[in-house]
Structure 1
């Protein structure tokens, strides 16, 4: 006899995601409730999301990713929540695993692995090859850390891990990527200073960017990705350099806008 599964609310945070939002929504149509929480997009994101009859679109002013998600999570109708970024897609294998897990969950949250598609190619080597994020969890027992960048779920319960992957389409073109790096590096620079992390000029603008390239391209075998691996290593080093430069500028009294572009 097949047990009844727990119902789940899928939440998709968005901002200017007209390129991705359709495929993201299509990949979670199996959810019992779908909420798109939009940060007042300037493109067709809301229009596309609202074209789906079973999608509830809510707009809310954005502060950072953690606060946006923590604001919308309690509004989920169902006790199980699944978070999907707009540039991600749930594969059919992961969909089935999630639904099976919800029939008899024995953890309060679950890690889900991601495979990245960058410049049209799946990344098979390097640190971008695969990572994991907590995305399936109990609404009332989990919240995101109070961090401006790369916040993760906190829970007092036990966290399990699923076997299948999300597909992460992180590339929308060089202009969008540089804008994203610029925005994130600003927040990371302020975080480093506020947390009292080492912020010396030579370390932050020379040593760390150089090491990030070597780490991505050689230590993690990124060169086996071909041209894409080289681009990832260069862009990763640029991200670290941008953060380091901003740390120095902020320490020298320059105010760098944190506004989302």
Structure 2
């Protein structure tokens, strides 16, 4: 009798689909999969990596790997979402990690009688292995846990994608760890990639760049992050991050000019 009660309780527990999108993440993929060992299924959507990302992921019996040509982040995330078999979705980037306290909070949340339909995770930005306390990242948060039936990534955004939730949204209190900055070259490459996708987004909206975009917007981005958002208190780390984030804003517009020129 007790076993049947336990079995019924276990089978009725909400299940979690953990989703990861990857491109050349061999250095991260094993760690993030291990970090998600509490999920009921783990789905990796890979953009045809040139390194050993897929081979490492496929070595895990609890991981399903799909390959999908990368067009933009929104389409990649929605494709991953379509492959999930459970209602609760936990979406992680390969460079994000869930501390034990956040793991417990996630499990307690999905097992609660009354829940929101989606939850923001606050993120702690890591500069190499050290936390960045300011530089605009102190209030960084993203929706990482949500109900599949209530959510979709909006097609209008190609990068820094937005999850549209038809329901209640709340915050979890414990932080997700974001190992975003490994070295200068890799972070700069990431920022330029974001700039390129943002340029395509602006092109589709019919935006035409002018001196305001080339001068004022990147200058404002740097000064706002470095002065107003206290990047100066992060020392050299803050200077580097604020500069590269401003560079990403600036580079959107040369890319956009090239797109406009090639379409004429």
**TM superposition score normalised by structure 2:** 0.89
Question: In the alignment, does 2:116 pair up with 1:144?
Answer: no
Q: Identify the residue that residue 238 of structure 1 maps to in structure 2.
A: 247
1:152-194 superposed Cα distances (whole Å, 9 cap, x missing partner): 2112111121111111111233332222222211121122232
Counterpart in the other structure of 1:127 = 136
Residue from 221, 230, 234 that aligns with 1:221: 230
> Match for residue 35 of structure 1?
43
Q: Compare the two structures and name the one with the higher helix fraction.
A: 2
3-state SS of the aligned residue for 2:181?
A: coil
Unaligned regions of 5+ residues in structure 1, if any? 256-261
Match of 2:27 in 1: 19
**1:230-252 CA distance string (max 9 Å, x none):** 1011111211111122233334x
Residue matched to 1:259: none
Q: How does 1:1-261 map to 2 (within 5 A)?
A: 5-104=13-112, 105-146=114-155, 147-197=157-207, 199-200=209-210, 202-251=211-260, 253-254=261-262
Which whole-Å CA distance do the structure 2 matches of 1:141 and 1:29 have between them?
25
1:237 and 1:97, CA in 2 relative to 1: closer, same or farther beyond 3 A? same
Q: CA deviation at 1:91?
A: 0.9
**8 Å contact kept, 1:111–1:162:** yes
Q: CA RMSD in A?
A: 2.0
SS of residue paired to 2:238: helix
The DSSP-based 3-state class of the residue aligned with 1:63 is coil
SS, match of residue 61 in structure 1:
coil
Q: What is the CA–CA distance in structure 2 between the aligned matches of 1:249 and 1:40, rounded to whole Å?
A: 27
Give the whole-Å Cα distance in 1 for the aligned partners of 2:125 and 2:235: 15
Displacement of 1:11: 0.7
Deviation at 1:197, TM superposition (A): 4.4
User: How big is the shift at 1:98?
Assistant: 0.3
Aligned residues: 253
8 A contact 1:204–1:245 mirrored in 2: no
TM-score by length of 1: 0.90
Distance 1:254 1:196 in 2: 14
Contact kept, 8 Å, 2:191 with 2:245, in 1: the verdict is no
SS state of the match for residue 168, structure 1? strand
The alpha-carbon deviation at position 18 of structure 1 amounts to 1.0
Q: Tell me, yes or no, if the aligned pair for 2:21 and 2:80 is still in contact at 8 Å.
A: no
Name the SS of the counterpart of 1:140 in structure 2.
helix
SS in 2 for 1:164: coil
